[in-house]
Structure 1
Amino acid sequence: MFTKVLIADDIDFNDLGASQILNELDVHEIQYAKYCDEALLKVKKANLDGAPFQLLISDLSFKEDHQLNKLNSGEELIAAVKKECPNIKIIVFSIEDRAHRIKLLFDGLHIDGYVLKGRNTIYELKRAIQKAYNEEQDNISPELLYLLQDMTTTEINNYDVQLIKYLSKGISQENMETVFKEEGISPNSKSSIEKHINKLKIYFKANNTVHLVSIAKDLGII
């Protein structure tokens, strides 16, 4: 079983539930972080000390307060942690139940498990930790499995999401090629980008790119 685990969550009650499970599983060292930046700092320090964390359990939403942070979401934290510690196992522990967001966590950030906070939280979290340790597949709360069968979820990939995100930031279709090349995103040719945007507009029945971004926000894609 894991011996060193980090819990990133800004609510004490959730920390207590997760720590209860880890204690039952005889995890020797458990650390906590209420901010994403704090969590990343703990990961970096553990690496420098030669005693890296083996598992990160993270929420997705962190409420803003007086403290300024560079990382403000679970997705940003997970991406940063993966760069620092590629072999760490990651379980998301959240109330988020939108299929697109969950699928992108598995496909884009390669998380090792997803637990929906709810009535069966304790049992499901314990099961997810054991599955992550044993490197088992389909490590997700049972009530969410049907969401991932949604046709829209399976047909929208990470590239499409990046494209819509940049459109939502005001990057025009004409300037997208330059931005994608700078960011190392491919395909990045003008024709490929136009083709993907047209595909998305047809798929979502959007009248224009503004309408496309609005639909994507409503569906929780971005």
Structure 2
Amino acid sequence: MKTKTRILVVDDHQLVIQGILCSLKEVGDFDVVTTNNCDEAFSLIKSNVKTNPFQLIFTDLSFDNLTEDTNLDGGEELIKAIKNNDFDIKIAVITGHTETNRVFNVINNLKPNAYLLKSKCDGTEIGFAIKKMMTNDYYYTHEIHQKIMRRNIIQIQMDEVAIHILKELPNHPKIANLEGIIKKVDGTFLKLRSIETKLSNLRIDLNANNNTDLVLKAKELGIID
């Protein structure tokens, strides 16, 4: 008799859990356990690792049911704990978070096997993600994949001069004030016309309407703080 794939679902909203359970039923016959907090999730993984281990976990990133006694205050901390203990379990994030900087940091630093969005996830996509994860592959829903690709492309295009301009821009009411502040790689100061050209190119790259929008998008992408 074939052993069922064991899945742990972690979310603090019961309606979300029910939705994920329904989607899982559409695509396979799994042994599914649910919990609404990360501490219990980690305890379940740890206590079952030798007897009846989980192969997959679906977890949100943010939890609203934290207390003073909470040790793992969110999905990111749970993922870190799993990886620090070298548990052999595939990790899928299923969340509402689409902020480019947070998405990039989660994927770049924690390397989950999948990143799904609650609002756009159905049985077909969950089934596809499970197949990918079970073959040691990765799956990011289309919107997340596009964000990561764009973030990586922009990161490659950014140089020290561009980042310096973006950091200084909010501190000065006029672009002309940046002349005498922004330096080229050789240490000489950038002329006003060159600064304006650089800003124009940055607005195109980040699809920004103006310099204020440019700074906001640079922050959202995590290019500047």
Deviates more, 1:83-92 or 1:24-33: 24-33
Question: Residue 25 of structure 2 aligns with which residue?
Answer: 23
Question: Residue 149 of structure 2 aligns with which residue?
Answer: 149
Q: How does 1:122-201 map to 2 (within 5 A)?
A: 122-137=123-138, 139-151=139-151, 155=155
When normalised by structure 1's length, the TM-score is 0.66
Q: After TM superposition, give the deviation of residue 201 of structure 1 in Å.
A: 9.3
Change (3 A) 1:70 1:112: same
Aligned residues of 1:2 and 1:133 also touching (Cα < 8 A) = no
Aligned residues of 1:6 and 1:53 also touching (Cα < 8 A) = yes
Aligned residues of 1:17 and 1:122 also touching (Cα < 8 A) = no
Question: Residue 80 of structure 2 aligns with which residue?
Answer: 79
Kindly, what percent of the aligned residue pairs are identical?
25
Aligned residues of 2:151 and 2:221 also touching (Cα < 8 A) = no
Paired AA for residue 205 in structure 1 = L
Rounded to whole Å, the distance in 1 between the matches of 2:144 and 2:45 is 29
Can you give the 5+ residue segments of structure 1 that lack an aligned partner in the other structure? 157-198, 209-213
CA RMSD of aligned residues (A): 3.3
Q: After TM superposition, give the deviation of residue 28 of structure 1 in Å.
A: 3.7
Q: After TM superposition, give the deviation of residue 43 of structure 1 in Å.
A: 0.8
**SS of the residue 1:23 aligns to:** helix
Q: After TM superposition, give the deviation of residue 110 of structure 1 in Å.
A: 1.8
**SS of the residue 2:124 aligns to:** helix
1:24-83 deviation per Cα after TM superposition (whole angstroms, max 9, x unaligned): 343442111111111111111112x42221101000110035463011111111110122
Aligned residues of 2:24 and 2:123 also touching (Cα < 8 A) = no
Question: Residue 114 of structure 1 aligns with which residue?
Answer: 115
Aligned residues of 1:115 and 1:121 also touching (Cα < 8 A) = no
Q: How does 1:50-65 map to 2 (within 5 A)?
A: 50-65=51-66
Rounded to whole Å, the distance in 1 between the matches of 2:93 and 2:11 is 10
Change (3 A) 1:152 1:134: closer
Paired AA for residue 136 in structure 1 = D
Q: After TM superposition, give the deviation of residue 13 of structure 1 in Å.
A: 1.2
Question: Residue 97 of structure 1 aligns with which residue?
Answer: 98
